[in-house]
Amino acid sequence: MQEQLYRVLVINPGSTSTKIGVFDNDILIVEKTIRHSSEAINEFPTIIDQYAFRKQTILEALDEEGMNVSKLSAICGRGGLLRPIEGGTYSVNEAMLQDLRKGVSGQHASNLGGIIANEIAEGLNIPAFIVDPVVVDELDPIARISGFSLIERKSIFHALNQKAVARRYAKDKGKRYEDLRLIVTHMGGGITVGVHKEGRVVEVNNGLHGDGPFSPERAGTVPAGDLVELCFSGQYYRHEIMKRLVGQGGLVSYLGTNDAVTIEKRIQKGDKQAELVYDAMAYQVAKEIGSASAVLEGKVDAIILTGGLAYGKSFVKAISDRISWIADVAVHPGENELQALAEGAIRVLNGEETAKNY
Ligand SMILES: Nc1ncnc2c1ncn2[C@@H]1O[C@H](COP(=O)(O)OP(=O)(O)O)[C@@H](O)[C@H]1O
Ligand SMILES: CCCC(=O)OP(=O)(O)O
């Protein structure tokens, strides 16, 4: 019997890029990454204000590739900051759209994934899905304790790619993901270090506006008392401080750009400040991996480095030199997110799974 062909458009809005792919079943036939400078992104006061710009970017990219959208079977977007939920493929519904528009758990570009997928799908009368959104929550109870009873730690991370890369690593080693103890470090616009203990992410830093290493555009953990003083100094509005932490934090705040490639060039030309800050980011990532290894009591099968920053050889070396004593370091540059989104949609289209309801 001939296999049914499903053509799926996948949409992955990240903080520094919009990535799209078109798949015929699990075969990628079109892939496009559009990078956004921090200036371009910072022109928009809120994430939802980026909606028309991101959607237009996607439609233009499809047009450039000569892709006829009328042949699509479904559209799948990266899921955003919803209420905490278990992993899986979800149909986009009205409750989800409302929460994404509101930013019920915060503001991040991935909130636009489900919204744009739904908008294009509605016009074509086909289903829209999201898969493993950034709020997938498998934290152990102990990991939720922040040390301040009014504030609970949250699971906000690159769930889609961390899970996809971890599963791929297990498969390559001929093992089951559920049998491994891995530390997966996704290094993109945000950086998250997840402790994958036998198939569950029991500990991870909240890479949006919680804690962990600083990243190209996020502040990560900052000294709490000093932050409180700044908030009440009368110098800043709430939204300004938030923007300094998310969007204008990290590399952007020290060096004015979220682009590690530009920073590497500046370092090669002798820019000492760029060298110090870039190495400080590697140092903080290494510290977070060290603390993740304590969660696993030192019994770590492998440390996986992934995301766009994992293309940077000197950056990867600066981390590896500090942590390779813990376990083998596997480098998986870029991400598996487009494939993981397509596979999640196709599992539902071919009846292998039923889409979950939000
Ligand atoms: N070849 C490369 N070398 C070093 N850094 C890179 C390279 N390619 C991309 N990056 C950096 O990776 C970061 C973006 O990672 P990515 O995973 O694409 O982020 P996001 O999905 O959050 O937009 C940027 O700082 C970018 O400059
Ligand atoms: C909100 C956690 C996921 C994240 O930081 O994604 P980007 O690196 O794509 O911004």
pLDDT, tens only, 88-140: 999 999 999 999 999 999 999 999 999 999 999 999 999 999 999 999 999 99
Question: Would you say residue 2 has pLDDT above 70?
Answer: no
| pLDDT for the residue 3 | 76
| pLDDT for the residue 81 | 96
Quickly state the pLDDT bin for 10 (edges 50, 70, 90). Answer: very high
- Helix H or strand E segment including 244: helix 238-245
- Give the residue whose CA is nearest to atom 6 of ligand 1: 309
State the distance from the centre of ligand 2 to the C-alpha of 71, rounded, in angstroms.
30
Q: Is 308 in the pocket of ligand 1 (CB under 6 A)?
A: yes
Question: Would you say residue 1 has pLDDT above 60?
Answer: no
Question: Would you say residue 349 has pLDDT above 60?
Answer: yes
| More reliable by pLDDT, 152 or 68 | 152
For the CA of 218, the nearest atom of ligand 2: 5
Residues 340 and 164 sit within 8 Å (Cβ to Cβ) = yes
State the distance from the centre of ligand 1 to the C-alpha of 333, rounded, in angstroms.
9
CATH for 7-137+337-349 (3.30.420.40, 3.30.70.260, 1.10.630.10, 1.10.620.20)? 3.30.420.40
Mean pLDDT, all residues of the chain: 96
- Tell me the mean pLDDT in the region 49-69: 94
State the distance from the centre of ligand 1 to the C-alpha of 227, rounded, in angstroms.
28
| pLDDT for the residue 42 | 84
Mutate which of 185, 311, 313, 316 for ligand 1? The one with the most ligand atoms within 8 Å of its CB, which is 311
Q: What is the pLDDT of residues 191-233, one digit of tens each?
A: 999 999 999 999 999 999 999 999 999 999 999 999 999 999 9
Quickly state the pLDDT bin for 38 (edges 50, 70, 90). Answer: confident
- Give the residue whose CA is nearest to atom 22 of ligand 1: 189
Dihedral of CA atoms 154, 159, 162, 164 in degrees, nearest 10, equals: 160
SS (H, E, C) 139-188: CCHHHHEEEECCEECCCCCCHHHHHHHHHHHHHHCCCCHHHCEEEEEEEC
Question: Would you say residue 305 has pLDDT above 70?
Answer: yes
At residue 257, what is the residue type? T
- Give the residue whose CA is nearest to atom 2 of ligand 1: 311
- Tell me the mean pLDDT in the region 149-155: 97
Q: What is the pLDDT of residues 268-282, one digit of tens each?
A: 999 999 999 999 999
> The tokens of 208 are what?
């949006």
Question: Would you say residue 254 has pLDDT above 60?
Answer: yes
Measure Cα distances from 70 to 73, 130, 166, 346 in Å: 9, 20, 34, 18
Q: What is the pLDDT of residues 326-346, one digit of tens each?
A: 999 999 999 889 999 999 999
Give 303's strand partners.
183, 329
> The tokens of 296 are what?
């696993």
Quickly state the pLDDT bin for 39 (edges 50, 70, 90). Answer: confident
ipTM (interface predicted TM): 0.98
The model's pTM is: 0.93
State the distance from the centre of ligand 1 to the C-alpha of 261, rounded, in angstroms.
8
| pLDDT for the residue 318 | 98
Q: Is 313 in the pocket of ligand 1 (CB under 6 A)?
A: no
| pLDDT for the residue 135 | 96
> The tokens of 271 are what?
């820019």
For the CA of 188, the nearest atom of ligand 2: 8
- Tell me the mean pLDDT in the region 40-59: 92
For the CA of 12, the nearest atom of ligand 2: 9
Q: What is the pLDDT of residues 153-177, one digit of tens each?
A: 999 999 999 999 999 999 999 999 9
Q: What is the DSSP string of 92-144?
A: --HHHHHHHHHTTT---TTHHHHHHHHHHHHHHT--EEEES-TTB----HHHH
Q: Where do the CATH 3.30.420.40 domains begin and end in the chain?
A: 7-137+337-349, 159-216+258-333
State the distance from the centre of ligand 1 to the C-alpha of 291, rounded, in angstroms.
24
| pLDDT for the residue 80 | 94
Please give the CATH architecture assigned to the domain spanning 159-216+258-333.
Answer: 2-Layer Sandwich (3.30)
| pLDDT for the residue 65 | 94
